[in-house]
Amino acid sequence: MITVFLDADACPVKDEAYKVAARYGLKTYVVSNAFMQIPQSPLIERVIVDAGPDIADDWIAERAQAGDVVVTNDIPLAERVLANGAAAIAPNGKVFTRDSIGSAIAGRALMEQLRSTGEITGGPKPFDRNDRSRFLQAMDEAIGKELRRRR
C-alpha cells in the first residue's frame, strides 16, 4: 500500500494532499512538532514529534519506503526518502528525483553560504495558486505512476 507522509509544520498544501490521498484511499501521516487540526478520517493520522531540528524529518525518513509519497520542502529530507525509493514532492509541485537532488543540495548549500556572508538573497517567491495546481498534478502523477508500476 502506498503511504503519504506530510512534513506538515510549514506545509501550505495539506488540504490538497488530503484530497488526493482520499481519492486513492491512501493512509496519510501528518508529521509535525506541534498540534494541528486534521480532518476526521481513519486514513489520516496526526503524529506529533518532539521539537528540535530534524526530528520530524527523522520520523518520516525512517518510515518512508519504496512507492510512498513524501510532501516536503526540506531538501535533505527529500534526499533521504529518495534513497529509500519513495517519491518526494515540494508543495510548489517540484518533484525531486535522484537526477535532480544533487543540484538541489548544491543550490541549498550555496544559498546558506551567501546568507552566512550577509548577502541578501531575496528568499523564495510567494506561494500562489499555480504552485498549488502544480502540486496537485505532481502528487496525482506520482501516485498514478506507482499504481501502474505495481500492476
**Domains of the chain and any CATH numbers:** 3-150 (3.40.50)
Cα angle, residue 54 at apex, residues 49 and 60 outer, rounded to 5°: 65
Mean pLDDT of 103-128: 72
> Does residue 64 have a pLDDT over 70?
yes
Q: Report residue 150's pLDDT band, with 50, 70 and 90 as the boundaries.
A: confident
Give the integer Cα–Cα distance in Å for 88 and 64.
10
Residue 132 cell numbers, joined: 498549488
Mean pLDDT for the stretch of residues 43-64 = 95
Which band of pLDDT confidence, cut at 50, 70 and 90, is reported for residue 104? confident
Residue indicated by cell numbers 498544501 = 13
- Beta strand 44-48 pairing with 95-96: unpaired
Quick one: average pLDDT of 87-111? 82
Q: Does the model's pTM come out above 0.85? A: yes
